[in-house]
Structure 1
Amino acid sequence: MKYVVVLGDGMADEPIAELGNKTPLEYANTPVLDALSKNSEIGLVKTIPDGMNPGSDTANLSVLGYDPEIYYTGRSPLEALSIGVAMKDTDIAIRCNIVTVSEDDKPYEEKTIIDHSSSEINTEDAAVLLEAVRKELENDIYKFYLGTSYRHLLIWDKGTVADLTAPHDILGRVIGKYLPDEEDLREMMRKSYDVLVNHPINVERKAKGLNPANSVWFWGAGTRPSLSSFEEKNHKKGAMISAVDLLKGIAVGAGMKNINVEGADGTLHTNYEGKAEAAVKVLVEDGYDFVYVHVEAPDEMGHQGSVERKVKAIENLDEKVIRIIKEGLEKSGEDFRMMVLPDHPTPICVRTHTSDPVPYLLYDSTNVLEKEWDYNEADAKKSGNYIAQGHKAMDYLFSNIK
């Protein structure tokens, strides 16, 4: 038996008037999921423990079977594992986004945050901008490391775990009251604007109608993580396919194989097919038992507040990922179980994450269930199936369907 999780990041949502009071998941044209749902169990799973922040970090730890209340030490340390930063026990890792703030004559504290991803800036441009920041701001205490797209890393030697605000939580707001209390961090953010605002890359971006990547933003601080081995824990040899350093870092910490797919960049136009084909290969040809296929696009479209693009991301997931994996495994003759779910909702109406339970679909190629439901938030709730602790979803995947 082979096992697959297809994780549509932030895919769950609320009913939207312009979609006829349907959610994007209900409204999207998803013939593969529609067919699968008729022979699947569906239900709700609570991926965010009470009192914890509804981040992709805590949620994906849950889905992978790691109780965040035990294993979570912050988001950025997980990303540090992916980048290859060897953290000391005294280091604090901090996410360093390259964001867009308003360009006006107001003091930095009075500017508004416009875009947490700087129009989904590519890694090549981000590398140049981060190097400009590094030349001005890096010292023996603060070290910058390149990540992917807008997502980068700051390591603070002998730092403290500061209470920092995620930029996607405050889009459209004046930034002053959300800046770090730590003056060194605040000052680096202020200075980064001066370094980047008139950088040639940003001049070019604005000429193209793209948002300038004109400030760094610090958030997600934490200490060095320690995850137990996925294979020892589950007796399954596992692989991760994701464009996002957070997921790659979790895989490094859990001793899973990271598979890098060319053209996979976490955007709406990511290489969906390449991810799906890599998933089939690692299971069928390479002999792995489990693969976790993470697709960032629905979450990014939720943060952007784009109904049309979120629907498209879900349709891409259906046609270009789930279909290819299903057909590839069927062609191979392998029996398999596939779980499809988001990590958390990213509702268009709030443009950030919420803690609500998310819908899951659990398909077993050896079972015929003949159900009437579809895979969406409403039918998942009506099913009455509920996994109250998200970190037990992985055990559920590896056990028999009820």
Structure 2
Amino acid sequence: MKYIVVLGDGMADEPIDALEGKTPLEYAKTPAMDALAAQSEIGLLHTIPEGMKPGSDTANLSVMGYDPKIYYSGRSPLEALSIGVPMKDTDVALRCNIVTLSEEEPYEEKIMIDHSSGEISTEDAAVLLHAVQQELERDGYHFYVGTSYRHCLIWEKGAVVPLSQPHDILTQRIGEYLPQDAVLREMQKKSYDILADHPINVERKKRGLNPANSCWFWGAGTKPALTSFEEKYHKKGVMISAVDLLKGIAVGAGMKNISVEGANGGLHTNYLGKAQAAVDAVLKDGYDFAYIHVEAPDEMGHQGSVERKIQSIEYLDEQVVKPVYEQMLASGEAFRLLVLPDHPTPIRVRTHTSDPVPYLLFDSTAPRRESWKYNEREAKASGNYMAKGHEMMQYLLGAN
């Protein structure tokens, strides 16, 4: 038996009046997922434990089968693992977003325009972070380049201080959300002075792009300790993602990360390449399990774009779910396919919520005869509900 998870990050949503009261998932044209739903178990899964923040970190740990209440030590340490940052037990890792702030006001009165600086390229972001490094790096504080707008600051002998997520404060003035720690706060302020008139940002503004004009620290945490996925579930697995967080979970879990050319975490990522990498891993390379993570629906939710979120869901259906299902079926290999989001990212709020997410579980050895389609409404109507998200992985892998 082979196992594949297709995870559309933030794909779940709420009914939207402009979509005739449907969610983006319900409104999108998803013939592959709907055809699968008619042969599958569907239901709702609660991925965020009570009392924990709804993030891709806690949610994906849940889906991967790791109870966040036991294994979660912060988001940024997981990302640090993925880029090879050497963390000591006394280190604290922080996510360092390069964000877009409004330009006219004093720093404390600026508005958070864009948490991703228009999904800036890794190449441009690396140049900007290097400029910050040269000016701000000091004993006990070290910057590391990640992917796109997502980077890392290691604070030696630091503290896990409360910090605001930039995607939670879009369109808001930043003053009350700035770090209380004096050093971190001053570094953020100085980063604006370094980046605001940097040649890359001058050029970005000429091209009508959002300037990447400030660092923003969040997601503080200590060195994580995950049990090996193979030891825990007796399956040899691979991770296929363009996002450092997911790559870091894979590193911590002892799974292989497969890099796909053109996979960038954006709307126009290499969907087909990801699908093919998963199929090749389980059919040709001897792996039992593949986890395909697609970031685009989440990013479009943060952007507040209904049209692009629908488009990202349709791309995932046509270019990931369909080829994975068709190739696995044609191979004759027994397989189980799980399709789901990690959490909702509703257009209404442009950030994550803790609501349960719809799942679809297909078993090639026991296809069902159902009348379901795959969306939030029908998943709820099915009556199937799993309250502890981390139990889904054992449920997926348990029937051999």
Q: Stretches of 4+ moved more than 2 A in 1?
A: none
SS at match of 2:238: strand
Report the counterpart of residue 96 of structure 1 in structure 2: 96
Task: Please show how residues 1-400 of structure 1 align to structure 2 within 5 Å.
Answer: 1-104=1-104, 106-400=105-399
Instruction: Provide, for residues 109-158 of structure 1, a one-character-per-residue CA deviation record: whole Å limited to 9, x for no partner.
Output: 00000000000000000000000000000011110000000000000011
Measured in 1, the distance between the counterparts of 2:28 and 2:398 equals 30
Measured in 2, the distance between the counterparts of 1:219 and 1:111 equals 18
Shift of 1:400: 3.6
The amino acid across from 2:91 in the alignment is D
Instruction: Provide, for residues 230-253 of structure 1, a one-character-per-residue CA deviation record: whole Å limited to 9, x for no partner.
Output: 001101001000000000000000
Measured in 2, the distance between the counterparts of 1:332 and 1:136 equals 56
The amino acid across from 2:204 in the alignment is R
Measured in 2, the distance between the counterparts of 1:46 and 1:279 equals 26
Measured in 2, the distance between the counterparts of 1:29 and 1:379 equals 15
Instruction: Calculate the TM-score normalised by the size of structure 2.
Output: 0.99
Instruction: Provide, for residues 295-317 of structure 1, a one-character-per-residue CA deviation record: whole Å limited to 9, x for no partner.
Output: 00000000000000000000000
Measured in 1, the distance between the counterparts of 2:24 and 2:311 equals 9
Shift of 1:369: 1.1
Measured in 1, the distance between the counterparts of 2:89 and 2:298 equals 32
Shift of 1:209: 0.7
Measured in 2, the distance between the counterparts of 1:322 and 1:281 equals 15
Measured in 1, the distance between the counterparts of 2:34 and 2:385 equals 20
Instruction: Provide, for residues 338-396 of structure 1, a one-character-per-residue CA deviation record: whole Å limited to 9, x for no partner.
Output: 00000000000000000000000000111131111111001111111011100000011
Measured in 2, the distance between the counterparts of 1:367 and 1:205 equals 53
Measured in 2, the distance between the counterparts of 1:35 and 1:109 equals 51
Shift of 1:327: 1.3
SS at match of 2:398: coil
Deviates more, 1:346-355 or 1:363-372: 363-372
Measured in 2, the distance between the counterparts of 1:48 and 1:368 equals 29
Instruction: Provide, for residues 149-199 of structure 1, a one-character-per-residue CA deviation record: whole Å limited to 9, x for no partner.
Output: 000000001110010000000000000000000010000000000000000
SS at match of 1:4: strand
Measured in 1, the distance between the counterparts of 2:202 and 2:332 equals 54
Shift of 1:398: 1.1
Measured in 1, the distance between the counterparts of 2:43 and 2:305 equals 26
Shift of 1:331: 2.1
The amino acid across from 1:138 in the alignment is E
The amino acid across from 1:127 in the alignment is A
SS at match of 1:398: helix
The amino acid across from 1:45 in the alignment is L
Shift of 1:268: 0.1
Identity %: 72
Measured in 2, the distance between the counterparts of 1:400 and 1:256 equals 22
Please list every run of 5 or more consecutive structure 1 residues that lacks an aligned counterpart in the other structure. none
Measured in 1, the distance between the counterparts of 2:323 and 2:143 equals 38
Instruction: Provide, for residues 34-61 of structure 1, a one-character-per-residue CA deviation record: whole Å limited to 9, x for no partner.
Output: 1000000000000000000000000000
Please list every run of 5 or more consecutive structure 2 residues that lacks an aligned counterpart in the other structure. none
SS at match of 1:321: helix
Instruction: Provide, for residues 274-295 of structure 1, a one-character-per-residue CA deviation record: whole Å limited to 9, x for no partner.
Output: 0000000000000100000000
The amino acid across from 1:397 in the alignment is L
The amino acid across from 2:262 in the alignment is G
SS at match of 1:210: coil
SS at match of 1:35: helix
The amino acid across from 1:163 in the alignment is P
Shift of 1:226: 0.1
Deviates more, 1:363-372 or 1:82-91: 363-372
